[in-house]
Each structure stands twice: as C-alpha cells, then as structure tokens.
Amino acid sequence: MGEFDLIAALRARLPAPGPRVLVGMGDDAAVTAPGGVTATSVDAIVEGVHFRRGSTPLEAIGRKALAAALSDLAAMGAEPGEAYIVLGVPPDLNEPGCLELLEGAQELAARTGTALAGGDISRSAVLFVAMTVVGHAPAAESLVTRGGAKPGDAVTVTGKLGGAAAGLRMLEGEAASADLPDEVVSALRARQLDPQPRLAEGRALAASGASAMIDLSDGLGADAGHIAAESGVRLEIDLSALPLQAGVAEVAVAIGEEPLDLAAGEGEDYELLACLPAESVDRARAAVAEAGNSLAVIGRCVPGEGGVKLSAPSGRELRVRGYDQLSS
Amino acid sequence: MGEFDLIAALRARLPAPGPRVLVGMGDDAAVTAPGGVTATSVDAIVEGVHFRRGSTPLEAIGRKALAAALSDLAAMGAEPGEAYIVLGVPPDLNEPGCLELLEGAQELAARTGTALAGGDISRSAVLFVAMTVVGHAPAAESLVTRGGAKPGDAVTVTGKLGGAAAGLRMLEGEAASADLPDEVVSALRARQLDPQPRLAEGRALAASGASAMIDLSDGLGADAGHIAAESGVRLEIDLSALPLQAGVAEVAVAIGEEPLDLAAGEGEDYELLACLPAESVDRARAAVAEAGNSLAVIGRCVPGEGGVKLSAPSGRELRVRGYDQLSS
C-alpha cells in the first residue's frame, strides 16, 4: 500500500467540499476562507487504549474518531466546517481496511456537513487516528467556553446518560445476562459504536445564553470539574436527577455495578453539560427540543473556587473516574 | 502521569498567544480570528518509521514534527499562525520526557511566531507526534498551490540539498570514515535533527510570482512529480545544477553511494521547489537572498501530462525513492 495511492483513492471518493474550502485534499495545505472566527480541536484515539479492533468495526473506529472531535465543537456551539485526519496504519491493516475506516469518518462528515479537507498517513506499529476539526461562528461572542459559569446558574445536561458505558459492556460480552428488548440493546451498542456529536444542541444552547459548556467525554464528574475549575465556581449536582438511558439500569445490575456509576463516572456519552442563567432554562429546553433532544436540570452553580459536589440519592459514595470528589 | 497534569504543565510554560488566538489551550477548542484565508496542514511522525529514540533526542522529535508541518505552510507562502499537537505516549516515556519533547516544539514555535494553541495526549504502545498547523494569508491569491506551473516556467530550488540524508547516515554511525571538519559535521547533523521550515523564503517566492511550489520532504524526484501531476506539465530537471550541501559528497563516498542520490532521491531537506515564470527568476532570487537563502535554477517546465525527467550528468540512472522515473 503506497501512501500516495491511498490518499488518491480517498480523494476520489470524497464529494466536492463546500464553498468555504478553496483548496482541498492533495496540496501542501488546505486553503479555506473562514469568514468569522474559528474553533479548532484535536482528538486522537489509539488501539488498545480507546478501542479494540476485535470489538469495534473499522468504519466505527473512523466514525468515532470524528464524532469525538466534532463533539468538542458542539461544546463550543460552533458550526462544523473542516476535518483533517491522521492515520497510523499497522502492518496488518491493508488498503481496503484503511478505506473502510476512512469511509466511516466520511459518512459522519457528510451527515454533519463537515468537509474532509486534508490528512496524513503513516505506517505505525499500532493503529491510531488523530482528528483535527475546525468549526466556525460569526464572532467569538457566539461561542461558549468552559469558563463563564456564574453562581446561581443552573447546571443542565442534554439527552440520556450511561448508554456508552453500558454499550461497551455489551460489546465486550460482560452483560450477557441483561434481558433487554432488541431495540434497547441496539441503542446501547450504537451509543458506543456510533456516538452522535450534539452539534445542533450545542448551537441551540449557545444561542439560548449558555454561560459555560463541555461535552461529556471523560465522565460527568471529571467534565463538571473542568467547568468548575475554569469558571471559578462550585457545581452541585443532584445525581438522582440524571436522565438514564433505557437499559442502563439492567446492564448495571447484570455486571454488579450501580447505574449511576455508569452514568456519572464513565465517559463517551458525548452529551453536553451546560450552565445557564436560571431565567434562560425554559428557552434553552425549547431550543434543544427543536434540535430533537431533551434538556434536564441536574444542579446549580454556587460560589466557591472550583470543585464539584455530587449528591447521591442514598448518601453513598460514588466511584468517579479521573475526578477527586469533594465531601463537604 | 495524568493527561490533565501534563496539559496543565505545558500550558503553564507557554507564552501568551498572539492577538489572533482568542481562546488558547485548555478549553474544548481553541478560538481564533483568522482575518483572511487559512492554510491548514497535518503531519505525523512515528517512532520506528520516521525516527528512532536512540539516535534522536526527545526535544529534536518535537521540534522536527513541528518543522515538517510548518514546511508545508512555507510551501504555500503562508504566514505561520497556530499549531495543535497530538502526542501518543508509550509506557517508557515519563512526564519529564514528554515535557522535553513539547519544549522542543515550543522552541521552534517561538522562533517562527507560531502559537501552540491546543493539543491532545493519549497513551500509546508507540511514540507518535501528529501536528496540525494553521497559516494565514490576506487572500487565496497570495498562496501558491502545486497546480499552477506552466510550460516555459523555470524550476528553482532554495538552499542546499542532500544534507538531511547525509546527516542521517552520520547520526546512525554509517559514515564514520568521512573525514570532515567539525563545523561541516555539525551542519549535516543539524539538518537532520533541526530542519528549518523555509517560511520567509516561501513568502518571498509567493510574492515574487511563483506559479507552483512544494517543500522537499519526500525527495526531489517524488516532490517534483507532485507538481507535474497537479499542474499537468512535465518537469525537466538537470541534476548537475543541484546545489549540494558541504560534506554530502564526502559522506556519499564513505557509504558507497552517489551524492546525487542523497540530494535528489531522499527527502527531509525541507527546502522549497518552486516554479516561476522565467522573467520573475531574478526578482525571486533577490527576494530569497533577502530572506537569507539562495535560489538555484535547476530545470524548466515543458508541455506534457505530468512526469519528471531527471538528467544525470553521466547519463546514468538515478535510484529515486517513491518516484517512477520517466526515461524519454
């Protein structure tokens, strides 16, 4: 497999990029005309760390790499624009396999209006995909950082949580005893293999006055901690208010874990955690519903220098990965 | 080593980004205000493929990854703006090692006026660095693609060639018998370990009317082939006109190879290959001299559908990596 051949094969399959891309794949650099401001994020997934080829089809690997990157743009409230893909190709991945992976990314790119505008391919001892995405907005004020939450703001979350963690357990065969309807199982598996970047929801929340926003990639506890630290406030979250995806409770029972551990302690749900002035919540809920999703209030911001308080219904302690729980 | 800790440590060491970066490292995405058009390129280097840790210091790995990416911006004639780094960290690379690598990149970033605006860090079985760079220009017409060369244009190259290939042989201990002055040896090693993206030269050539441009990363033969293919012309290159770096001839003799094989058949010199209307050559040479480098005419563009003819002085055949030589 030659690097040039693979790039040529990919290039031949790509649709013409939109009007913003003046020079696409195949030159020293892609040339774009951004217009307003850009939001740029990079995200890498590595075999044996973020996925196993045994339980993840190649097209799902490409799609998920792009989804995770686009989710960061969703969390800014940016409109997706261009994506640039770096592929590390191990000796046992042949050209059709590479194209399958790239087509997974291209499928999501087409669905989200993202132009695959460039890339690089290298041999590597281990499969990895590094994705750079560029989003757009008319002005910086249209975008939402992690740093603007104020005491008194409501803490909200889009959609349902815990599905990605439960889906992973099903894919790895750990939750075989959970007796669930086929459509619930499919939805859980899809949550892990085909995560949806909440781009429309992110733009709706930004337009509704969100003061701070982050996507749930590392887990609710850790991600809430980032907002708390950057905003210089404290987040109090009522875990009994978390919206659980159908089937998460049953999978948790089957593997001997607590449903809230899957929903709050593990990541990859790629829903959005947004802080909003209390008076903006109704408007935001309506805007998110317009985008086809739900918005739940799960807590509030209080004065304090960072930190998150997670209140569990029973008063029990949650195991939250990557996050130091505050007890007070 | 926590990913968050390492990002925080890096963030603490970075200078404040320039006025174009509105939100830098540490949020979901970096926010920038581009102004005109952007040129974006991604480039990855992988352990065991592009470098060996035994012969390449960590800071050189970080610096070289950024240099290779910036070289693509040089080949567009763009002004460097932002860089985003993805680091795959193997188990035997500790936090001080990661910071050493990142500081190598930061050193070149500071030297070239590039802002490290974001990144991602992942565990990985193998060390890799994927670099995304964004350059800027007032308008698309200010940038030079690979596709604009016309029959009659002169083919030119900046600087001296063959140094990176000779430097690699020295670093790997293959050229021990070449008896060279210390400063020549140092310059050859630096060519491999600290390549210089020809950013000022690229802007000078773009402003002087270059019709097509590419950086010499894959080797003169292969890179000339890209211009020929994208421009739909044929490039005739006189290899006896290639400017060789001091010491390349002696290293070639010591390892039993031809100097021109090192200069035309191997890459990583990161000089620029530019096509120019014949009447623009003098102006371009003066502009490149202003940028501190030389410009040599090494051939011309003739009508034809792609392809490169490399004429060797002796009529002998060159072994050119990654490139199918045309014989006619």
Token code pair at residue B307 = 């392809």
- Relative to beta strand A128-137, strand A37-46 is antiparallel
Q: Contact B76/A29, CB-based, under 8 Å?
A: yes
For residue B326, count CB atoms less than 10 angstroms from its CB and return exposed for 0-12, middle for 13-18, buried for 19 or more: middle
The pLDDT value given to residue A57: 95
Q: Do the beta carbons of residue B88 and residue B124 sit within 8 Å?
A: yes
Q: Which domains does chain B carry?
A: 3-142 (3.30.1330.10), 154-311 (3.90.650.10)
DSSP A161: B
| pLDDT tens-digit map of A112-137 | 999 999 999 999 999 999 999 999 99
Q: Contact B23/A145, CB-based, under 8 Å?
A: yes
Strand partners, A158: A295
Q: Contact A40/B84, CB-based, under 8 Å?
A: yes
What is the band of A177 on the pLDDT scale with cuts at 50, 70, 90? Answer: confident
Asked if A238 has any chain B CB less than 8 Å from its own CB, the reply is no
Which residues of chain A are within 8 Å of residue B145 when distances are taken between CB atoms? Answer: 23, 27-28, 31
Q: Contact B146/A27, CB-based, under 8 Å?
A: yes
Enter the ipTM.
0.92
DSSP A129: E
Nearest to B72 among A22, A29, A128 (CB): A29
Count of beta carbons in the 10 Å neighbourhood of residue B212: 27
- Relative to beta strand B128-137, strand B79-89 is antiparallel
Share of chain A above pLDDT 70, in %: 94
In this predicted structure, which of A144-148, B75-79, B179-183 has the lowest mean pLDDT?
B179-183
Return all residues near B327 (Cβ < 8 A) that are at least 6 apart: none
| pLDDT tens-digit map of A300-317 | 999 998 899 988 776 665
Q: Contact B73/A29, CB-based, under 8 Å?
A: yes
Q: Which B positions 129-148 lie with beta carbon below 8 A of chain A?
A: 130, 132, 134-135, 140, 143, 145-147
In this predicted structure, which of B16-25, B142-151, B237-246 has the lowest mean pLDDT?
B16-25
Kindly list the distances between the CA atom of residue B246 and the CA atoms of B64, B175, B221, in Å, as whole numbers in the listed order.
Answer: 22, 15, 21
For tokens 């003066």, the residue is B286
In this predicted structure, which of A44-48, A322-326, B217-221, B309-313 has the lowest mean pLDDT?
A322-326
User: How many angstroms separate the CA atoms of A159 and B229, rounded?
Assistant: 49
Between A172 and A299, the higher pLDDT residue: A299
In this predicted structure, which of A174-178, A193-197, B295-299 has the lowest mean pLDDT?
A174-178
Which residues of chain A are within 8 Å of residue B117 when distances are taken between CB atoms? Answer: 40
Read off the pTM. Answer: 0.93
What is the band of A25 on the pLDDT scale with cuts at 50, 70, 90? Answer: confident
**Positive or negative torsion for Cα B309, B315, B317, B319:** negative
DSSP B279: G
User: What three-state secondary structure class fits A287?
Assistant: helix
| pLDDT tens-digit map of A70-128 | 999 999 999 999 999 999 999 999 999 999 999 999 999 999 999 999 999 999 999 99
Mean pLDDT, rounded, for A186-209: 96
